[in-house]
Amino acid sequence: MIENKLNLAVFISGRGSNLQSLIDACQEDNYPAQISVVLSNKPNVQGLERAKKAGIPTLTIPHKDFETKEAFEGTILEALKDYPIDLICLAGFMRILSPYFIGHWPDKIINIHPSLLPDYKGLNTHERALADGQKEVGCTIHHVVPEMDSGPIIMQKKVPVLDGDTPETLAERVLEQEHIAYPEAVRLLAETR
């Protein structure tokens, strides 16, 4: 049993399959991290159910309930004070965090993105990669900085594009790698802290 595990907050907006990969990793005795809290900006999403099933505390803070990003993020910052947190993992969290929020957690927020950054920042990554005739796509785990999908890269995993691939088949193949990469990246950060 490892002492002094890295405490994670995982931010989600939906399905939470990457959250699940972190939950599964954290359930292993020799994994150097544990999840303190899962936060969603959307109510009633599958990821919240995954967290509850694993006995992890959840916070639902819908961005739609706030008039400004400052108010939304201020509420998150306040709520997080109740939990031990060393690292925030964005896992399909579909809100852009402000420099104000990121400044509260310098070098302590990471994100997973379904492309080989710096290529295909933003949405519809697989669709755009296919349209460009890319032969290889993948996923990236990176530190979060104010500029969207930028920030130093921690890890990437690549997959080939196959004949007949659609955005959906590609998303599925990349997602398998995401589920391997995210726990590996968190382990790397925990072990080199």
Q: Which residues bind ligand GAR (CB under 6 A)?
A: 12, 14-18, 47, 91-92, 112-114, 175, 178
With CB atoms as reference, the residue minimizing the distance to ligand GAR is 92
In the bound complex, what is the minimum distance in angstroms from residue 81's beta carbon to ligand GAR? 25
In the bound complex, what is the minimum distance in angstroms from residue 2's beta carbon to ligand GAR? 25
Active site residue 104: no
Write phi, then psi, for 154 (nearest 5 degrees): -95, -40
* Closer residue to ligand GAR (CB): 2 or 171: 171
* Closer residue to ligand GAR (CB): 2 or 146: 146
In the bound complex, what is the minimum distance in angstroms from residue 59's beta carbon to ligand GAR? 16
* Closer residue to ligand GAR (CB): 2 or 130: 130
* Closer residue to ligand GAR (CB): 32 or 114: 114
In the bound complex, what is the minimum distance in angstroms from residue 51's beta carbon to ligand GAR? 12
If DSSP states are collapsed to H, E and C, what string results for 133-192? Answer: CCCEEEEEEEECCCCCCCCCEEEEEEEECCCCCCHHHHHHHHHHHHHHHHHHHHHHHHHC
- One DSSP character per residue, 59-117 reads EE--GGG-SSHHHHHHHHHHHHTTS--SEEEESS--SPPPHHHHHHSTT-EEEEESS-T
Q: Of 113, 126, 142, 179, which one is the catalytic site residue?
A: 113
Neighbours of 55 (CB within 10 A): 8
Closest alpha carbon to 112 in 168, 155, 58: 155
Which residues are known to be catalytic? 113
